[in-house]
């Protein structure tokens, strides 16, 4: 037998071997014979503090959460956004407000699956959506990205979206948490909101995303809530999200929206995007100094690892790119189906559907008639691989049977710009052709430039990189100056496009002001110039984070296309059997980074519609945009109105199918269609210099406010017409268990055309110790009916339907009393009612 010394040496050798190669003693991350939580704990023990901190920030791509290669921990590969993959070309599906307008949960689940498939086809495993902000502010520039003004509808859409995405092992990210409902000063305004309003209106979609859909990631918003930025708000991130709801996934910041190391870390943020300004060396030092506990860091690491395991990222760290999935007929047909189900028939004086055998000529008029308005602007904007404009949709459907005459009427948006010829541009010292560029390593053009150079043109797409390693990839600015000599006397049109901010000065006069954070957005200006005269030009640009783009151009002098003319459009309208006018908002005025300026359409479009309607009463107006459009000047003079909103790449086909009855419209409004700022309380404090936004209306948001104050919107929440009619009957309300109930009714298609009806259930509490809305949406079903067909519809109500959040007791409670159950086709069209006594 070996002696004691020999045994001691063997044990010591074994201990040393364990210390220097301890990884051999642990299960591998993808060992399926070991539980996920055990694998998480084993990985946690292997990691150094530096490696743990590394996991909590983004990497150099600007869209990955970092991994730790030494332990086989892959990065999370992210991509925008909620309405399609913003990564080169992809399928541009209808935007979120269109999805909500479909009121079709199963359809949105299928969309989630398709979105996940395209995410993986781009080599990504995390999609930054859905967006579930409530439409409190009617003209929010990002309303089109979310599901409307009602928390119940938003929650149902979000749950099915997330379930579809995560069924394919792709991480869904519900955003922006929370109360992010305007773009003006979005990084700085402070929402003052009470707990009841939070819980009942602004948080339910997030709550159900966590509790019911099991969402794996939550993105914090830019704004402050009750004095604290969302990314370091302990009430939102820790007390509600993690403690109350039991969220086990990761909380990520919106891009460049972290303002501290200690507060953000201790209050619940788990990953800083896009790069670790605070969650790097600063957080490491804070842990070493004892300001942030090791257990706080370990909790974040557990969450990161848990999400990777749940999404199968250890087994498949980089999904195989496959462009054929993106260009598949399956996804194209899904985009078409979604577009067709989401368009809303707002008015129809028995004019639609159009009859091919009764019309010889259609005048197709408007600035959106030959352009596919697929979506709004900003980080959700998808570059479609294919588009169908209204003109293309109609001409393909009709062939030679009906002549389609096009007239733009008015021109909105930017023109196709080209580079300004180099020979017309000289540096300020006139020694060389080109723009004198000064490059700064800050966003405010402060101090001395890091370097200078002459650029032949300003046409740069740095993507998530930067112009030079000396500047880095974010937080830089550039100033270009030059002297431009006009080749001839005429009006010159200049275009400036940027992501983020940019301005253009000519002879010290501000011509284009695009100076704020936003996705790529172009603006134009026009100025008269004289031949041979020299003009000073100055272009300034800053990049905050993410993509960086700056382009200066002018309208091609060879472009001899005729100017848009209302007179020409009127002449075309007079000769036509029917007129279709396509107008509204576009991605340049409805976008991330800025709010829509007015209900009235910009660029003379309102005047165009009025002139066309006067010339030919057989006019159909198609409006685009995710916010209400002013219609009072012309609504009474046209035969029909369709809200197309932003129907994605197949919108032109869907519109043509609806106009000619191939598809019966079934969309319903997910927001109230108001017409004036006086109808909403939120405009009173909008753009308040004190940057305080008081949610003084409390739980009375959207139709709840209009019901309470006897305001009649132009079109109410839930409204939408059909080419057929429906009859409701035989209401039954049966208790099932506890405070749960089953509501059933018969719905009959009493018209001659097959169609879909959205049956909406509202609950109206008759008594309560706190003031409650007159009615609230608590259920809906979309039912497909042939002509003459009857179906029984069933809606289940759980106890939460009858509860409200008690601000003093800090919990959801049910009070005894009567609850009226209202069934109808909109919030203002109630067809059946019953009573539940609690």
CATH of the domain at 528: 2.60.120.260
Strand partners of residue 748: 727, 790
Both 511 and 581 in one domain: the answer is: no
Both 551 and 567 in one domain: the answer is: no
Does the residue 163 lie in any domain?
A: no
Asked if residues 790 and 681 have their Cβ atoms less than 8 Å apart, the reply is no
Q: What pLDDT, on a 0 to 100 scale, did the predictor assign at position 7? A: 44
Q: What pLDDT, on a 0 to 100 scale, did the predictor assign at position 29? A: 59
The helix (H) or strand (E) run that includes residue 797 is strand 790-797
Q: How far apart are the first and last CA of the chain?
A: 82
Does the residue 770 lie in any domain?
A: yes
Both 362 and 387 in one domain: the answer is: yes
Q: What pLDDT, on a 0 to 100 scale, did the predictor assign at position 18? A: 34
Pairing between β-strand 829-837 and β-strand 818-826 as defined by DSSP bridges = antiparallel
CA distances 622 to 569, 640, 651, 814, Å, are 16, 9, 12, 45
Both 533 and 598 in one domain: the answer is: no
For the segment 200-232, what is each residue's pLDDT rounded down to a tens digit? Answer: 999 999 999 999 999 999 999 999 999 999 999
Give the span between the Cα atoms of 42 and 26, in whole angstroms: 6
Report helix, strand or coil for 8. Answer: helix
Q: What pLDDT, on a 0 to 100 scale, did the predictor assign at position 28? A: 58
DSSP codes of every residue in 432-470:
SBSEEEEEESSTT--SS-SEEEEES--EEEEETS-S-TT
Q: What pLDDT, on a 0 to 100 scale, did the predictor assign at position 343? A: 98
Asked if residues 300 and 65 have their Cβ atoms less than 8 Å apart, the reply is no
Both 519 and 638 in one domain: the answer is: no
Q: What pLDDT, on a 0 to 100 scale, did the predictor assign at position 528? A: 95
Does the residue 716 lie in any domain?
A: no
Both 378 and 449 in one domain: the answer is: no
pLDDT grade, residue 516 (50/70/90)?
confident
Pairing between β-strand 790-797 and β-strand 741-749 as defined by DSSP bridges = antiparallel
Both 641 and 532 in one domain: the answer is: no
For the segment 225-273, what is each residue's pLDDT rounded down to a tens digit? Answer: 999 999 999 999 999 999 999 999 999 999 999 999 999 999 999 999 9
Burial class (CB in 10 A: 0-12, 13-18, 19+), 416: exposed
Cα-atom radius of gyration of the chain, to the nearest Å?
A: 29
What is the domain-level CATH number for residue 738?
2.60.40.10
Residues noted as catalytic = 254
Total domains in the fold of the chain: 3
* Those residues with Cβ within 8 angstroms of residue 574's Cβ, 6 or more apart along the chain or in another chain: 615, 616
For the segment 476-491, what is each residue's pLDDT rounded down to a tens digit? Answer: 999 999 999 999 999 9
Does the residue 791 lie in any domain?
A: yes
Residue reference for tokens 């990314």: 231
* Those residues with Cβ within 8 angstroms of residue 14's Cβ, 6 or more apart along the chain or in another chain: none
For the segment 415-424, what is each residue's pLDDT rounded down to a tens digit? Answer: 778 999 999 9
Report the sign of the C-alpha dihedral through residues 231, 235, 236, 239, in that order: positive
Q: Reply yes or no on whether the pLDDT at 715 is more than 80.
A: yes
Does the residue 70 lie in any domain?
A: no
Does the residue 740 lie in any domain?
A: yes
Strand partners of residue 526: 493
Q: What pLDDT, on a 0 to 100 scale, did the predictor assign at position 465? A: 84
CA angle 168, 171, 174 (to 5 degrees): 125
Both 548 and 433 in one domain: the answer is: yes
Q: Reply yes or no on whether the pLDDT at 21 is more than 90.
A: no
Q: Which of 526, 555, 584 corresponds to the end of one domain?
A: 555
CA distances 432 to 200, 312, 428, 453, 535, Å, are 64, 57, 9, 11, 16
Both 568 and 550 in one domain: the answer is: no
Both 508 and 569 in one domain: the answer is: no
Q: Whole domain around residue 776: which residue ranges? A: 726-837
Q: Reply yes or no on whether the pLDDT at 534 is more than 70.
A: yes
How is residue 358 written in tokens?
A: 């009764």
Does the residue 467 lie in any domain?
A: yes
790-797: strand order across its sheet: 726-735, 741-749, 790-797
Asked if residues 661 and 354 have their Cβ atoms less than 8 Å apart, the reply is yes
Report helix, strand or coil for 612. Answer: helix
Does the residue 395 lie in any domain?
A: yes
Both 530 and 475 in one domain: the answer is: yes
For the segment 355-390, what is each residue's pLDDT rounded down to a tens digit? Answer: 999 999 999 999 999 999 999 998 999 999 999 999
Q: Which of 632, 655, 671 corresponds to the end of one domain?
A: 671
Both 441 and 548 in one domain: the answer is: yes
Q: Reply yes or no on whether the pLDDT at 656 is more than 70.
A: yes
């Amino acid at each position: 037998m070996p002696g004691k010394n020999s045994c001691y040496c063997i044990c010591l050798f074994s201990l040393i071997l364990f210390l220097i190669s301890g990884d051999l003693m642990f299960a591998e991350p993808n060992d399926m014979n070991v539980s996920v939580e055990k694998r998480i704990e084993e990985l946690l023990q292997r990691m150094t503090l530096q490696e743990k901190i590394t996991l909590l920030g983004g990497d150099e791509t600007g869209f990955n959460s970092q991994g730790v290669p030494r332990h086989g921990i892959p990065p999370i590969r992210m991509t925008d956004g909620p309405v399609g993959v913003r990564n080169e070309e992809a399928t541009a599906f209808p935007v979120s407000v269109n999805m909500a307008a479909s009121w079709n949960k199963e359809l949105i689940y299928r969309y989630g699956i398709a979105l996940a498939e395209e995410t993986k086809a781009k080599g990504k495993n995390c999609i930054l959506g859905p967006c579930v902000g409530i439409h409190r502010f009617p003209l929010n520039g990002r309303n089109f990205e979310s599901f409307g003004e009602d928390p119940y509808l938003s929650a149902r859409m979000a749950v099915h979206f997330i379930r579809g995405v995560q069924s394919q092992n792709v991480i869904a990210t519900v955003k922006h948490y929370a109360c992010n409902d305007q773009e003006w000063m979005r990084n700085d305004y402070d929402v003052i909101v009470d707990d009841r309003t939070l819980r009942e209106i602004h948080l339910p979609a997030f709550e159900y995303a966590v509790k019911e859909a099991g969402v794996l990631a939550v993105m914090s918003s830019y704004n402050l809530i009750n004095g604290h930025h969302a990314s370091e708000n302990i009430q939102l991130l820790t007390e509600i999200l993690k403690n109350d709801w039991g969220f086990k996934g990761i909380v990520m910041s919106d891009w460049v929206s972290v303002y501290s190391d200690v507060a953000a870390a201790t209050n619940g943020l788990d990953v800083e995007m896009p790069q670790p300004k605070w969650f790097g060396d600063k957080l490491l030092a804070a842990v070493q100094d004892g300001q942030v506990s090791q257990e706080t860091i370990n909790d974040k690491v557990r969450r990161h690892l848990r999400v990777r395991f749940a999404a199968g990222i250890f087994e498949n760290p980089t999904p195989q790119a496959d462009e054929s999935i993106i260009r598949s007929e399956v996804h194209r047909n899904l985009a078409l189906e979604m577009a067709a189900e989401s368009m809303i028939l707002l008015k129809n004086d028995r004019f639609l559907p159009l009859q091919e055998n009764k019309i010889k000529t259609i005048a197709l008029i408007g600035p959106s008639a030959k352009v596919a308005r697929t979506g709004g602007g900003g980080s959700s904007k998808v570059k479609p691989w294919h588009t169908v404009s209204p003109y293309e949709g109609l001409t393909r459907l009709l062939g030679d049977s009906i002549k389609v005459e096009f007239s733009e009427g008015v021109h909105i948006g930017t023109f196709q710009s080209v580079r300004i010829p180099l020979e017309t541009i000289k540096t300020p010292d006139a020694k060389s052709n080109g723009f004198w560029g000064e490059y700064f390593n800050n966003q405010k053009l402060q101090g001395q430039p890091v370097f200078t150079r002459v650029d032949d043109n300003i046409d740069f797409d740095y993507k998530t990189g930067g112009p030079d390693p000396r500047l880095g990839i974010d937080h830089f600015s550039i100033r270009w100056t030059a002297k431009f000599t006009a080749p001839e006397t005429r009006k010159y049109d200049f275009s400036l496009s940027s992501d983020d901010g940019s301005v253009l000065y000519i002879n010290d006069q501000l011509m284009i002001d695009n100076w704020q954070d936003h996705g790529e957005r172009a603006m134009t200006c026009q100025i008269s110039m004289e031949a041979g005269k020299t003009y000073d030009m100055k272009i300034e640009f800053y990049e905050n984070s993410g993509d960086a783009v700056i382009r200066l151009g002018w309208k091609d002098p060879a472009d001899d296309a005729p100017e848009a003319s209302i007179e020409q459009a009127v002449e075309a309208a007079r000769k036509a059997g029917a007129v279709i006018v396509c107008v509204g908002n576009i991605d340049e005025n409805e976008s991330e980074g800025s709010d829509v300026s007015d209900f009235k359409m910009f660029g003379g479009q309102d005047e165009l519609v009025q002139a066309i309607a006067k010339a030919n009463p057989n006019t159909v107006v198609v409006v685009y945009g995710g916010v209400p459009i002013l219609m009072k000047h012309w609504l009474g003079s046209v035969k029909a109105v369709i809200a197309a909103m932003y129907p994605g790449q197949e919108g032109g086909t869907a519109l043509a199918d609806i106009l000619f009855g191939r598809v019966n419209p079934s969309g319903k409004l997910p927001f109230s269609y108001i017409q004036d700022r006086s109808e909403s309380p939120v405009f009173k404090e909008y753009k308040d210099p004190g940057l305080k936004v008081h949610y003084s209306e409390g739980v009375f948001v959207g139709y709840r406010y209009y019901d309470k104050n006897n305001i009649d919107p132009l079109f109410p929440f839930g409204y939408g017409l059909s080419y057929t009619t429906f009859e409701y009957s035989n209401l039954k309300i049966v208790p099932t268990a506890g405070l749960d109930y089953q509501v059933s009714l018969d719905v009959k298609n009493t018209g001659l055309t097959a169609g879909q009806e959205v049956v909406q259930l509202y609950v109206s509490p008759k008594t309560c110790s706190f003031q409650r809305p007159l009615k609230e949406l608590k259920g809906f079903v979309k039912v497909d009916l042939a002509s003459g067909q009857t179906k029984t519809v069933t809606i289940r109500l759980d106890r939460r339907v009858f509860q409200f959040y008690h601000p003093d007791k800090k919990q959801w409670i049910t009070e005894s009393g009567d609850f009226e159950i209202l069934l109808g086709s909109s919030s203002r069209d109630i067809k059946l009612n019953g009573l539940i006594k609690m």
